[in-house]
Structure 1
């Protein structure tokens, strides 16, 4: 039995388990509502872990540890920003969005919600938001496929091209079969696997170096700046990393979890579970990269893989320090992170194409069975485009994620935040905010202005546009204001 055989067996068992869940969900999927939102039946635990797993993609086990390994603890500002942003999203948006979508024609998707909430008879909001979803999610999907390819490439010595397809096929299969229920149920398993890997791995790394004090001494000896939270940081750099937290308000794959909860009352418990999971996972990811500095400083003979690509640090540590069977389980956590997020993204893209474009414009009277099958084939279409985008072996996971995260955060974040909190917001305000946010991100990214992360100006300019255009517009209709007030009143009931 060669060294990769136990890992191969572990991977096949894991993927087989995910496909089995997909098949079970397929048997429970009776209509398009089930396929897209699971019939709004998720309890607190599944809502929390599914939101967390769909959020924390391959970058959690590859991009973030790699950034910490290469630059030191100063890169952990991103984890601080994400924690603050996620908590605010759970606190302010989650419960309100769950109630508001039900009051506004039982909206199944974000474009659906925008169209109903702002009484958009022209359907331009639906079209623009669907386009934003398709553009930025295809880039986001490509990041997940790159992460999966890196995993298979490193673990099984595949070529990048072969690894690209191997990493994508399992995710496509169970998303195609089971839709939202498959994605949510598998997310719960995957979230458990991710937290196990991220708690165990740094503990073993510290022990391998000789303990906590020895690890810190080695890291300090290599460069005292590795311990400096402000290493290479100015005010703009710190704000840029903290600004990642703004992205949470506009991520469709995370917001879909809130919309699918069985009740807004479940959100409170889900928030506590979700935030505890997130803090432990982020702390573990930071620790993997940070204490990995000490391990590879002491063992330079093992450092070839991370010298070539710092994002492989978790993979290399798992392979070197653990029994192949345990390493296979730990490396499955990367696959879990990739699959959980990629599947959600494929499903949201599918829903945008099916619910918001196909049904909205081509087949208004399409049957539920027809919509489910169109949704499945749209999953395949988006996946193939994402694979084409990911085909460049020079792609970096964190770079792709940061662009897509900013695009959604700026285009949708202010619209969602104001939309569930401000009764006076209008259709023109929403449209202006969406366009200004998306355009600002693209332009700012292209010109790299002031080295400031593009989500920050995008979010600010979009918010200003929403307020300005809403106040210049006439007030929403009495019916719209009544629906908003009724939803807010229900949200405030305990």
Structure 2
């Protein structure tokens, strides 16, 4: 438990009060499903950029990635570099085309709805399978956020892990339930700024002796911490290890909670500004996160003379050791910000899949907008309870839970989405094959170990899914004329919207 918890507790309470106020304000502006799931497509460049970044990075940015750098050294830069390139490429390649095509395709509000309308799937099979994968993988992703919250409240307040997870889940659900997309996006703006500030401030304050001394201290602990090409045991990193780390960047193209920000942005011109903001934020945040792990390793061994069993708690330990309780409370609230900013987005996308893609499409096509909105809010509660069940294991790793869900979305949706907005010849059967092959590969590959099966499952998932889409589309009939006409209209709109 962290000392001086009264000041920290007061800071946390104030922070939560501000977030709940934003949620209530957004609730007053939410009247229909378009408002609830996409904020009425009114996001400007700053909330779009920082909401996408904050919902992307989650608790693993302040727990999982520093924890990995703590145990692996600058080997973590392979992961950081892959994520940075992937984030930039996603904004550049996907954002404008997806936003434009979603409007062309009858103003699609959700990713499954867009995929279904893109290929005029009257059977609704594409939409149903898409929603199924969203619900399945988001259970693991949301659970990772609740695990991070449990570790935070357990470390800061000395709470029992189970109670800590429940408290964190309650905070997240409270404002997601009422505010919807606007609450999530506006709070993400605040949370994103807080996260990046914390990740820049903490290593600078702790690393008072400068970078050269940090390198010397790391070398004294283990010189292998300073090489990109060897593990900490001195053995060369295999190509499987390097590719697995860099390949995290491929996951960006299929993350529904990030892609939703593209759909919700006010204009295509705003997306250009948002890309620059988002990439700048990502550079600061990711490399600050790696520095927290490296600086933390030197500090706890040199200044505190201790070993940290759970590296994912290194940020919290540094903050407690170096800062006064009041700024410490603000910095620790950044962890809560990271957790809430992603878990709320995941719950919202999941509830939209449940309400729009299952309930309205399969059970009650005649359901009114208010009825779908109510189902979406009930879905937030149901899904959070399921995620809570998976999060109750105190030995869960934030990074491992995120890696599985990240790969699942990247392989199931990434190839389908990219090809659907660039390839006119792609048809419904190809999209269906890509979804099934991509998602199934992740589930199966994850169960196998040894040799090539140690490769991060997102790599074979994307390769197999892309192959399935191309071969199936070419082997079956060309898209019907209405679909090709829609694609041509999309290309025209793309020029007009720019």
| TM-score of the pair, normalised by structure 2 | 0.97
Corresponding position of 1:54: 55
Corresponding position of 1:286: 290
Q: Say what the alpha-carbon RMSD is for the aligned residues.
A: 1.2
1:492 equivalent in alignment to 2:495: yes
Correspondence list, 1:299-448, <5 A: 299-301=303-305, 303=306, 307-448=308-449
SS in 1 for 2:7: helix
Query: In 2, are the aligned partners of 1:74 and 1:229 still within 8 Å (CA)?
Result: yes
1:81 offset after TM fit, Å? 0.6
Corresponding position of 1:263: 267
Count of aligned pairs: 489
SS in 2 for 1:39: helix
Distance 1:215 1:175 in 2: 42
Corresponding position of 2:172: 171
SS in 1 for 2:94: helix
1:251 offset after TM fit, Å? 0.3
Q: In the alignment, which of 252, 258, 264 is matched to residue 256 of structure 2?
A: 252
Distance 2:475 2:426 in 1: 10
Corresponding position of 1:229: 228
Instruction: Spell out, residue by residue over 1:85-107, the C-alpha distance to the aligned partner (whole angstroms, 9 max, x if none).
Output: 11111111111000000000110
| TM-score of the pair, normalised by structure 1 | 0.97
1:299 offset after TM fit, Å? 2.2
Corresponding position of 2:130: 129
Instruction: Spell out, residue by residue over 1:199-252, the C-alpha distance to the aligned partner (whole angstroms, 9 max, x if none).
Output: 100101101xx3322222111111111110112211111110010011000000
Corresponding position of 1:218: 217
Instruction: Spell out, residue by residue over 1:264-305, the C-alpha distance to the aligned partner (whole angstroms, 9 max, x if none).
Output: 22111110000000011001001101111211221244x35x
Corresponding position of 1:470: 473
Corresponding position of 2:234: none
1:71 offset after TM fit, Å? 1.1
Q: Which is further off, 307-316 or 291-300? A: 291-300
SS in 1 for 2:123: coil
Distance 1:248 1:213 in 2: 34
Corresponding position of 1:186: 187
Query: In 2, are the aligned partners of 1:218 and 1:297 still within 8 Å (CA)?
Result: no
Distance 1:367 1:46 in 2: 29
Distance 2:467 2:109 in 1: 28
Query: In 2, are the aligned partners of 1:216 and 1:294 still within 8 Å (CA)?
Result: no
1:489 offset after TM fit, Å? 2.6
Distance 1:320 1:133 in 2: 40
Corresponding position of 1:104: 105
Distance 1:272 1:17 in 2: 28
1:373 offset after TM fit, Å? 1.3
Name segments (4+ residues, structure 1) moved above 6 Å: none
Corresponding position of 1:455: 458
Distance 1:94 1:488 in 2: 14
Corresponding position of 1:297: 301
Corresponding position of 1:64: 65
Distance 1:378 1:155 in 2: 31
Instruction: Spell out, residue by residue over 1:27-73, the C-alpha distance to the aligned partner (whole angstroms, 9 max, x if none).
Output: 00010110000001111111111110110110000000000001111
